[in-house]
């Protein structure tokens, strides 16, 4: 059967409305007018910028600067980098509204769509004492959906989240459920990400997890696949090991790119030895400064007359010894801050020497 055009439908509906068998001639400029008399508009009306309200400008952060209601965040990391551990501790903080990684949270009810089994979630629940603030949809698909199925699935998630009075939906990972055939195809990526708007427009925050590509990438380009992924979200977080070659290092670096000024550019977080949570260590520069200070305190003499910067540099371990200029700069900063004592002007005949108090 030939598909009825908008023009033909408008003519037919006009004739039916007026009780006439005669279908009038409508010019194309009248099509929209005729169509809107019988159907409600599918799309929102534009709003004058002067009519935008302060309420719309207010952003309700669930994790300050990183996750917000009515907005989408994507966190990307290499496989087995600790995403699941990170998520588990984030969920525990969100259920009570306790700070996480040095940033405030709000008490939050969460629905997680997970690629992990219920067995793994039972272990995580018991280990972290997760409670009734959390709902899990474990491995809900038996195959990759098409784009229609994906839209229906997001509608299902929206309904279940609203029924349970959730504030946040987590999808871990987006690639496990996405309908795209290729995550490198920007059109298919946008076809996957845009329907997430139905969740944000329902007042929910959305957090999607994804993987960093094998080769990693420059700032904002680390996520595997098309750069349309990063462009489709409001907050982009990239998680890496602090020292990639040291698997025992419990520190992770989070870099943030965002539409919000509240999003941190970089923070280093450390998983506590007992696995009880994460501590914020500042950015990498602050961490490096503390590490260097610790190395200096190991080699500084206890008493005057102390040692010159070049002598101190030679005493440091060759495995992690920084450049001589960095050592000198750190010695001066530490002396000025009162962390150790110095003497000498640094001019010829009066070299600067340093020692502990």
* Domain range list for the chain: 6-36, 59-238, 287-355
List the CATH code of the domain at 287-355: 1.10.10
| Contact between 264 and 103 (Cβ < 8 Å) | yes
Homologous superfamily (CATH) of 59-238 is P-loop containing nucleotide triphosphate hydrolases (3.40.50.300)
| Contact between 267 and 254 (Cβ < 8 Å) | yes
User: Fold match between 59-238 and 287-355?
Assistant: no
> Which secondary structure element, helix H or strand E, spans residue 94, and what is its range?
helix 83-96
Residue 130's nearest CA partner among 95, 171, 97, 165 is 95
Spatial separation of the C-alpha atoms in residues 114 and 137, rounded to whole Å: 6
pLDDT in tens, the chain (357 residues): 555 555 566 556 656 655 554 544 544 444 445 444 445 567 888 889 888 876 767 899 999 999 999 999 999 988 788 899 999 999 999 999 999 999 999 999 999 999 999 999 999 999 999 999 999 999 999 999 999 999 999 999 999 999 999 999 999 989 999 999 998 899 999 999 999 999 999 999 999 999 886 655 555 556 667 888 888 999 999 999 888 888 888 999 999 999 999 999 999 999 999 888 999 999 999 998 998 999 999 999 999 999 999 999 999 877 778 888 999 999 999 999 999 999 998 888 899 999 997
């Amino acid at each position: 059967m030939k598909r009825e055009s908008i023009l033909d439908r408008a003519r037919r509906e006009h004739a039916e409305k007026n009780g006439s068998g005669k279908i009038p001639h409508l010019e194309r400029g009248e099509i929209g007018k005729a169509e809107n008399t019988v159907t409600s508009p599918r799309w929102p009306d534009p709003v004058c910028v002067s009519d935008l309200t302060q309420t719309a400008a207010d952003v309700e952060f669930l994790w300050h600067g990183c996750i917000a209601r009515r907005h989408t965040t994507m966190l990307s990391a290499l496989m087995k980098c600790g995403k699941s551990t990170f998520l588990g501790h984030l969920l525990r903080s969100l259920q009570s509204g306790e700070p996480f990684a040095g940033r405030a949270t709000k008490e939050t009810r969460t629905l997680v769509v997970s690629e992990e089994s219920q067995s793994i979630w039972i272990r995580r629940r018991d280990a972290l004492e997760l409670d009734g603030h959390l709902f899990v949809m474990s491995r809900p698909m038996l195959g990759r959906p098409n784009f229609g199925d994906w839209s229906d699935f997001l509608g299902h998630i929206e309904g279940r989240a609203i029924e349970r009075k959730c504030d946040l939906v987590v999808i871990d990972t987006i690639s496990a459920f996405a309908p795209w055939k290729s995550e490198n195809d920007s059109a298919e990526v946008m076809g996957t990400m845009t329907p997430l708007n139905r969740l944000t427009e329902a007042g929910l925050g959305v957090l999607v997890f994804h993987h960093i590509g094998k080769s990693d990438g420059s700032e904002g380009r680390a996520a595997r696949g098309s750069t349309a992924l990063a462009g489709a979200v409001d907050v982009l977080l990239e998680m890496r090991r602090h020292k990639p070659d040291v698997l025992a290092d419990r520190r992770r670096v989070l870099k943030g790119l965002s539409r919000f000024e509240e999003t941190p550019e970089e923070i280093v977080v450390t998983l506590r030895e007992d696995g009880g949570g994460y501590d914020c260590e500042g950015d990498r520069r602050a961490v490096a400064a503390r590490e260097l200070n610790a190395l200096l305190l190991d080699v500084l003499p206890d008493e005057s007359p102390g040692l010159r910067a070049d002598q101190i540099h030679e005493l440091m371990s060759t495995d992690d010894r920084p450049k001589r200029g960095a050592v000198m700069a750190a010695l001066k900063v530490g002396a000025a801050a009162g962390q150790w004592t110095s003497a000498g002007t640094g001019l010829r005949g009066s070299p600067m020497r340093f020692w502990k108090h």
